Structure 1
C-alpha cells in the first residue's frame, strides 16, 4: 500500500463553483494539473485529493464518463466544514441536470443524487455536499500556489459502493460533462475553456484542464489530429469508419456505416461486440501468421495469444482505427496493443465484449496509455496523438520538466 501511495506526485487539485457569488480562483492560471497513478492489481487509474477540515487525503479512481466526484464520507474522520445541499436549491438542480427523471424537491430536505460506480456499473443514492478542498493553481509566473477552496460540490456514497475499486480508493472522480464533474467545475470557477487533456501511463500519467501547451510542449500539443466527439449523457464516443490490421481493411457487415467507439478509463483493455471481435480475431491471426508468428493457447481474459519467441520487441501487426477519412487514423501498436503474459507468451489486448456491450467498440485504458487525448467539450472534438512512445515523450515524462518539479 505504501509503495502505491508514494507513486503519486501531487495531491489532486480541484477548483470549484457554480455561481458568481462563489470565489473565482486562479484567474491567471493557464492550467490545473492532476498526476495519476496506475494501480497494478486492478489496472485502474487513481488520483488523490485533499479535502475537509482538517484536510485529509482520498485516493479516487478516474472515471472518464463519470458525473460526480464521489467519496465514502462515513469512513475516517468527519469533516467539520462539510455542508449538506438543500433539495430545492439551485445547486441541487444543476447537479441533477443530467438526470432523466423528475426533478421535484421538498422543502427542508437534503439533495440526493445518484453517483455511478463506473467499474461495476452500479448506482447508489448519495447526498450532495460541499466542502473545503485543497487546490493547486498554476500559472506562468508561479507554479504550485496552493490554497483552500470552501465550495466544491461532490457526492457522498455508501461504503458498499466502493466494491470493485482499487483497495486504496475511497471513491471516484468523474470527467464527464455533468455540471458537477471535475472539468465542469474547473471551467466554471477559473474560466478555463471546456477542455481537458488525458495522458495515462503505466507509471505516472496526467489529467489536465485548460491549456496544456506549457506541460506537453507546443510541438506535441499542436500536432494532435482531431476527430468529432459525440457526448451521450456523460460518456465520450468517436466514430470509426473502418479498421485496418497490418494495412489491410477488415470487412464488417453494414459497410458504409460508422462503428461507435466509447472511450473508457474503467476497463483495462479494448472490447468489441462478439460479431466484430470474431471478424477482428480471424483477420489478426492471419496477419500475424504472415509475419511468421505462432499462435498459442489463449490465457484468460485474452482471446488471441502468440509465442513471444518470434516477436522481436513485441513487433506485431498494427491496428489502425480509420475515423472520418483515410487521413485521420488512430494507430494502436507495440505496448498499446500487446500484453506480455509470461516469458513465452504475448497476447493481444483486445477482448470479446459479448453480445450486449453498450457500443460496438469500447476503447480501454491500455490503448489510451501514452497517447495524449484532448477532450474539447466546447467544440465537440477529440484531439489525439497516437503513441508518444515512438516520439520519446511518454506521458510520465511530462512531470519531469524542471518547472513542474514543485509538484513532486
Structure 2
C-alpha cells in the first residue's frame, strides 16, 4: 500500500467523527437564463428545500408564505441583541414592525430592510462528509434566516416554483456558511455544468475534496488573496447590499498575450465600484464596456491565427463561430486560451469549455464567446459568472483571506458532477 493510500485509509476509517458538511448544487437552464440551487433541509419536521445559490448574499432568505410550516420557527424579537446585530450595517432602520400582523409577520418582529423582511430562527440540517461521501445529517436548531413573501422577488423572476428563497454565502456572520461553521471559516463550491448530475458545496472542510475516479482536487489548488467589499445593486427601485468577494485581477491574457486594459478599472474605488468579483447569479462573465471591447478585439485577432472565422453573433453574445469549423477537445472547443492573471502572478486559465457556449437551434449550430458587455456604468468592472465557474473548485478561506481555485477540473480527468453522494454510514456526527 502506498503512503498516500495508507493515510487516506486512516482518515476515512479510523477518524471517529467529522464536523465537515456538504450540500448538492443543481444547475438550472431556463431559456437564456442559467442559475444554481443549493439543496438543504429546513424546518421541523425537516424538509428538502431548494434555494437559489447567491455567493454574495448576507442572509439566507425564504418566502415563509410559500408552504412554510414548522414547529420550531420563531421570530427574532425586536430590540433584542440578535436583532441589533442583524441590523448593524443598515441605514435608517426601523427596529420594529408594529403595524402589520400576519401569520409570519408579527408585532415587534425584527425588520431587515435589506430584504424588506423580518428575521426568524428555525432548524436547518446538512449532511456530514469526509470529503469522499456523505454521512448522517447534522441539525442546527437556531439557524437565523430572513422571512418574507418578497423573497421570491429576489430570485430575479427566473426560478421554478419549488425554489422558495436564496442561500446566502456572503461573509456576513449570518450567512449560511458562517452559521454552520464552528471550527474553521472555510467553504468551497464546485458548480456542475450538467443539469442532471449535481455539483457540491463543502463547509468546514479544508481538504480533501475527492471526485471520481479518486482525484483529490485540494492537490491542484492555486491561491490568491481574497478581498471583501460591500456593493450596492439596484433592483425593483430598491437598494440591496451584498457582501461581495473580490479578486485582484491585474490583467487578462489571450493566448498568453496581455490585453490593454485601463488599470484603474481593476481596482475597487472608494465608492465600491470597479474590481473583479465572483457571482453565481450572473450566467456569464460580464465586462465593463472598454474592457469588453478590448477583450473581443484581442480574442478575434488570436482566433484568426487559428483559422477561425467569426459568423453572425447570437444575442446576448458578440462573437460566434460555426461549430463545424471548431475542433473539440477534452477541454472543450479549441479556441484561444484566456488567463486571468492575479496580483500574485498566479493564473486562472479558462479553457474552451468555460469560455465558449454552444447554441443549437433550427439551422443554427455555433460556438459563442460567453462574455457579455456590462456597459459603461457597471458596478464591478469584471464579474466572473456561472459558466466560467463550472467545473472549477473554489475554496473560500475567510480566515486566511485567500481563494483557492483549481481552473478546469477537466485537466485532471474529473469534474464537479463526479462527487460520490452515496451515503457512508460510518461517518458520524461531530
In the superposition, the TM-score normalised over structure 1's length comes to 0.83
> Residues 327-366 of structure 1: matches in 2 within 5 Å?
328-342=346-360, 344-366=365-387
Counterpart in the other structure of 1:18? none
> Residues 4-403 of structure 1: matches in 2 within 5 Å?
28-41=17-30, 42-102=33-93, 109-115=108-114, 124-138=115-129, 144-159=135-150, 161=153, 162-167=155-160, 168-187=162-181, 191-203=182-194, 204-216=198-210, 219-233=216-230, 234-254=243-263, 258=267, 260-313=275-328, 314-326=333-345, 328-342=346-360, 344-399=365-420, 403=424
Q: Whole-Å Cα distance in 2 between the matches of residues 166 and 404 of structure 1?
A: 34
Shift of 1:325: 4.1
Q: SS state of the match for residue 241, structure 1?
A: strand
Deviation track 1:92-145 (CA, whole Å, cap 9, x = no partner) reads 122223435558569971101135xxxxxxxx3111001123343345999522
Q: Whole-Å Cα distance in 2 between the matches of residues 144 and 39 of structure 1?
A: 26
The answer as to whether partners of 1:51 and 1:131 remain within 8 angstroms in 2 is yes
Deviation track 1:127-179 (CA, whole Å, cap 9, x = no partner) reads 10011233433459995222544211101121552452411311000000112
Q: SS state of the match for residue 44, structure 1?
A: strand
The answer as to whether partners of 1:95 and 1:178 remain within 8 angstroms in 2 is no
Deviation track 1:61-101 (CA, whole Å, cap 9, x = no partner) reads 00000111111101114323210111211221222234355
Deviation track 1:323-353 (CA, whole Å, cap 9, x = no partner) reads 1244x00101121111011263110011101
Q: SS state of the match for residue 336, structure 1?
A: helix
Q: Whole-Å Cα distance in 2 between the matches of residues 403 and 106 of structure 1?
A: 46
Q: SS state of the match for residue 222, structure 1?
A: helix
Structure 1 unaligned residues grouped into runs of 5+: 1-26, 116-123
Number of residue pairs matched?
368
The answer as to whether partners of 1:87 and 1:110 remain within 8 angstroms in 2 is yes
Q: Whole-Å Cα distance in 2 between the matches of residues 397 and 92 of structure 1?
A: 41
The answer as to whether partners of 1:196 and 1:375 remain within 8 angstroms in 2 is yes
Q: Whole-Å Cα distance in 2 between the matches of residues 368 and 142 of structure 1?
A: 23
Q: CA RMSD in A?
A: 2.7
Residues 370 and 73 from structure 1, CA distance in 2 versus in 1: closer, same or farther, beyond 3 angstroms?
same
Q: Whole-Å Cα distance in 1 between the matches of residues 320 and 69 of structure 2?
A: 49
Q: Whole-Å Cα distance in 2 between the matches of residues 223 and 31 of structure 1?
A: 20
The answer as to whether partners of 2:96 and 2:111 remain within 8 angstroms in 1 is no
